[in-house]
Copies of this chain bind each other. A is one copy, B any other.
Amino acid sequence: MVEYSSNARNMRSSEIRRLMKLASDPSVISFAGGMPANDLFPIEIVDEIYNNLSKSVKQAALQYGPTYGYPPLIDSLKEYLRSRGLPLEGQSLLITAGAQQAINILTKVFIDPGDRVITESPAFIGALAAFNSYRANLSAIPLEDDGINIDLLEKELDARSPQIKMVYLSPYFHNPAGIIYSEQRKKEVLEMLSGRPHVLLEDDPYGELYFDEADKPLTRPMKAIADASIPICYIGSFAKIFGPGLRLGWLLGPESIVEKCEMAKQSMDACSATLSQVLTHEYLSGGKLAPYLSRLRPVYARRARLMLDALERCMPDGITWTRPRGGFYVWLSMPSGADATEVFNRSIARGAAFVIGSAFDPHGVNNNSMRLAFSFTPEEKIGKGIEIIADAIKETMQD
């Protein structure tokens, strides 16, 4: 009886939601959720921070704050971003409700229905949902081992320049592909965008989670090396380096763009949760991040190793996968024509889950692939889970 907007009519209760629900059964060995394991959260640090807050800061934590963010957190976050080589001059910072909100706000600010966004393929499911919710058209450019296919990117930029409004890239330990861009590829992308009006969304929730200190230079953001004429909106998140439940991310971008984003955010939720911001400020300014990351990195490295070893041991010929040097994910590819949903159905029946590839295809079609997250699964269950999935793949391929 009620009549929905075009935006809402475009939203569909997807197959993915059904599969994710199945995967959340606690008896299932799940590689589905892209999240930290609960036992890795720095509970003792939060306790210590909370109990050292003064009464007036606790009061501030329960009060509205400015839309752009809690001022002390803005300061400590600037300090952190400076230490990662990011430029702050002529740039503004906006605290958002996770990186998801930053992506959503930028889409609101740049996309009219029918405008075009260039994304990698595969791409982050949350970004795709935001783009679709504003009825953007998507150009999906294949991702290779060292980054986006640069020739196809150039071709698309040349062919559809007037319709293209944003280029969305996630160069560091990509979700879902698990790869990291080479220095060379980052430079090529920046050269290609130079002089064009397109905004680059550089999404970086996992860059700090390299396994090997030697790879740290690879995580240097494009925004840190680009010349200022390219409008880059650098998006980060505290989800993977503190806790996703705080729902905090940020957007660092040219002042004029961030001003528009701040207005959009004001009409969305007025400000981000102040209590979360207070705790995060104390976490950053109290020097808690670096030791926490030092504790996390070997844990995720070990989980990735266990998963890669199991894949090597169990997977049949014709199956390939990425070998991540950081982050949360392995991306597994089956021969063309194989259907990850069939594999999922067989696999979940025996107690293991993952996310099917079509969830990350900008056009929702290609499904001969899957995302395996090693971040959440207890170490002793990783081998068994991969075994189940390998068996399901073998059976599906025999049919």
Contacts of A100 in B (CB 8 A): 267-270
A218-249 residues with Cβ-Cβ distance < 8 A to B are 231, 239, 242-247
Q: Which of B2, B245, B267 contacts A62 (CB 8 A)?
A: B245
> In the complex, which of the residues A5, A112, A130, A245 has the most CB atoms of chain B within 10 Å of its own CB atom?
A245
**A117 CB, min distance to chain B CBs, angstroms:** 12
Asked if A311 lies at the interface with its beta carbon under 8 angstroms from chain B, I say no
Asked if A81 lies at the interface with its beta carbon under 8 angstroms from chain B, I say no
Instruction: Report the interface size for chain A: residues with CB under 8 A from the other chain.
Output: 78
- Interface flags, A54-79, vs B, CB<8A=1, else 0: 01101111111100000000000000
**A96 CB, min distance to chain B CBs, angstroms:** 8
- B260 and A63 contact, CB distance less than 8 A: no
Asked if A259 lies at the interface with its beta carbon under 8 angstroms from chain B, I say yes
- B43 and A112 contact, CB distance less than 8 A: no
Q: Would A126 and B2 be within 8 Å (CB), given that A108-B8, A243-B63 are in contact?
A: no
- A110 and B269 contact, CB distance less than 8 A: no
Q: Please, which residue of chain B has its CB at the minimum distance from the CB of A42?
A: B62
- B59 and A38 contact, CB distance less than 8 A: yes
Asked if A349 lies at the interface with its beta carbon under 8 angstroms from chain B, I say no
**A213 CB, min distance to chain B CBs, angstroms:** 26
**A284 CB, min distance to chain B CBs, angstroms:** 16
Asked if A92 lies at the interface with its beta carbon under 8 angstroms from chain B, I say no
CA A51 to CA B50, docked complex, whole Å: 9
- B13 and A35 contact, CB distance less than 8 A: no
- A129 and B266 contact, CB distance less than 8 A: yes
CA A271 to CA B247, docked complex, whole Å: 8
Asked if A133 lies at the interface with its beta carbon under 8 angstroms from chain B, I say yes
- Interface flags, A259-294, vs B, CB<8A=1, else 0: 110011011111111111001000000000000000
Oligomeric state, in copies: 2
Contacts of A279 in B (CB 8 A): 275
Contacts of A276 in B (CB 8 A): 273, 275-276
Contacts of A55 in B (CB 8 A): 43
- B101 and A269 contact, CB distance less than 8 A: yes
- A275 and B245 contact, CB distance less than 8 A: yes
- A263 and B112 contact, CB distance less than 8 A: no
Asked if A252 lies at the interface with its beta carbon under 8 angstroms from chain B, I say no
Q: Please, which residue of chain B has its CB at the minimum distance from the CB of A40?
A: B59
- B41 and A63 contact, CB distance less than 8 A: yes
Q: Which of B2, B39, B266, B269 contacts A257 (CB 8 A)?
A: B2
Q: Please, which residue of chain B has its CB at the minimum distance from the CB of A100?
A: B270
- B257 and A60 contact, CB distance less than 8 A: no
Asked if A3 lies at the interface with its beta carbon under 8 angstroms from chain B, I say yes
Q: Please, which residue of chain B has its CB at the minimum distance from the CB of A47?
A: B58
A11-58 residues with Cβ-Cβ distance < 8 A to B are 11-13, 33, 35-36, 38-39, 41, 43, 46-47, 50-51, 55-56, 58
Asked if A307 lies at the interface with its beta carbon under 8 angstroms from chain B, I say no
Asked if A115 lies at the interface with its beta carbon under 8 angstroms from chain B, I say yes
Contacts of A271 in B (CB 8 A): 247
A-B contact list, 25 entries, CB within 8 Å:
A2-B257, A5-B109, A5-B111, A6-B112, A7-B112, A8-B108, A8-B110, A11-B267, A33-B64, A35-B64, A36-B63, A38-B59, A41-B63, A43-B58, A60-B245, A64-B244, A65-B245, A97-B273, A98-B269, A133-B267, A245-B273, A246-B275, A247-B273, A269-B269, A273-B273
Seen from chain A, the residues whose Cβ lies within 8 Å of a Cβ on chain B are 1-8, 11-13, 33, 35-36, 38-39, 41, 43, 46-47, 50-51, 55-56, 58-65, 96-98, 100-101, 104, 108-112, 115, 126, 129-130, 132-134, 165, 197, 199, 231, 239, 242-247, 257, 259-260, 263-264, 266-276, 279
